[in-house]
């Protein structure tokens, strides 16, 4: 079942859209906090986003750019402002299509299905891991935080990926070393310590203080 993230502040339109999309067997999440759209996006992991342009706090163009920092998921803009300038802006900001309101349900469905086919018939979904607003794109090993890109080595990326996959749980040093060995990167205890310390320094410099916690005698934890 495909998941669709609906970012629409008009509740009547949002409810009608959700009802129609669920009739078409889509799983739908309607944005709840318009200051934390990116966090909701990462938690839901949608296959496609329907984005209104005029939103509280920040407009749809802003959130499109934020999503594009971490994902290539298809984004379709919905707007009553259907002039050419908005159409050009929508595509320029990273959108994949633009549908003016009021829209025909059949046209909307056809466009959604076409985008999903083009995107997912030839490859898997781009996965994004999120913790404390830091976004790790596992498709291209990119970590971003508040718009800034944090460059990681291969080992740093693999360590952080495993910790984010198991956030809230302690990951043992042995498990981390095993993950690195599986990717043909043999490390010993000292090398792991060096990699974790370097990763911590990069995270701290980016503003992610105390991102990785040490549990003495057990391993590491994101909480």
* pLDDT at site 47: 92
At the second CATH level, the architecture of 3-120 is 3-Layer(aba) Sandwich (3.40)
Q: Are 47 and 120 in contact (CB under 8 A)?
A: yes
- Using DSSP, state whether 222 is helix, strand or coil: coil
* pLDDT at site 182: 67
d(CA 169, CA 167): 5
Question: Using one digit for the tens of pLDDT, what is the confidence trace for 78-121?
Answer: 887 666 676 777 777 788 888 888 888 888 888 898 888 888 76
- Using DSSP, state whether 81 is helix, strand or coil: coil
Q: Report the share of the chain in percent with pLDDT over 70.
A: 91
* pLDDT at site 10: 92
Compute CA distances 142 → 2, 20, 27, 55, 158, whole Å: 25, 35, 27, 28, 11
- For 128-221, CATH number out of 1.10.1750.10, 1.10.10.10, 3.20.20.120, 1.20.1260.10 equals 1.10.10.10
* pLDDT at site 81: 66
**Mean pLDDT, rounded, of the chain:** 86
For the chain, give the longest Cα–Cα distance: 62
Question: With 90 as the cut, is the pLDDT of residue 16 above it?
Answer: yes
- Asked whether the CA dihedral 2, 31, 114, 125 is positive or negative, the reply is negative
Residue 24 host element (H or E): none
The upper half-sphere exposure of residue 123, i.e. CA atoms within 13 Å in the direction of its Cβ, equals 9
Domain limits of the chain?
Answer: 3-120, 128-221
Question: Using one digit for the tens of pLDDT, what is the confidence trace for 158-215?
Answer: 999 999 989 899 999 888 988 787 665 666 788 889 999 999 999 999 999 999 999 9
Return the bridge partners of 148, or none: 145
* pLDDT at site 183: 60
Question: With 80 as the cut, is the pLDDT of residue 57 above it?
Answer: yes
Taking residue 104's Cβ as centre, other Cβ atoms within 10 Å add up to 9
Q: What is the pTM of this model?
A: 0.61
* pLDDT at site 56: 92
More confident residue, 223 or 83: 223
């Amino acid at each position: 079942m495909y998941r669709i993230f609906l970012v629409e502040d008009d509740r009547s339109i949002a409810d009608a859209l959700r009802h129609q999309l669920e009739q078409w067997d889509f799983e739908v999440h309607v944005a709840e906090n318009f200051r934390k759209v990116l966090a909701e996006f990462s938690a839901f992991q949608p296959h496609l986003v329907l984005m209104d342009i005029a939103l509280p706090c920040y407009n749809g163009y802003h959130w499109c750019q934020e999503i594009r920092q971490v994902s290539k998921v298809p984004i379709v803009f919905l707007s009553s402002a259907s002039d050419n300038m908005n159409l050009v802006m929508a595509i320029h900001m990273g959108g994949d299509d633009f549908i003016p309101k009021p829209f025909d349900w059949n046209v909307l469905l056809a466009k959604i299905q076409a985008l999903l086919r083009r995107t997912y018939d030839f490859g898997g979904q781009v996965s994004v891991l999120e913790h404390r607003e830091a976004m790790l794109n596992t498709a291209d090993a990119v970590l971003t935080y508040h718009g800034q890109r944090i460059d990681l080595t291969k080992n740093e990326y693999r360590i952080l990926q495993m910790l984010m996959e198991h956030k809230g749980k302690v990951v043992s040093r042995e498990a981390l070393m095993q993950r690195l060995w599986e990717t043909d990167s043999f490390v010993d205890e000292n090398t792991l310590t060096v990699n974790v310390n370097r990763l911590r320094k990069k995270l701290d410099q980016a503003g992610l203080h105390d991102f990785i916690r040490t549990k003495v005698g057990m391993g590491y934890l994101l909480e």
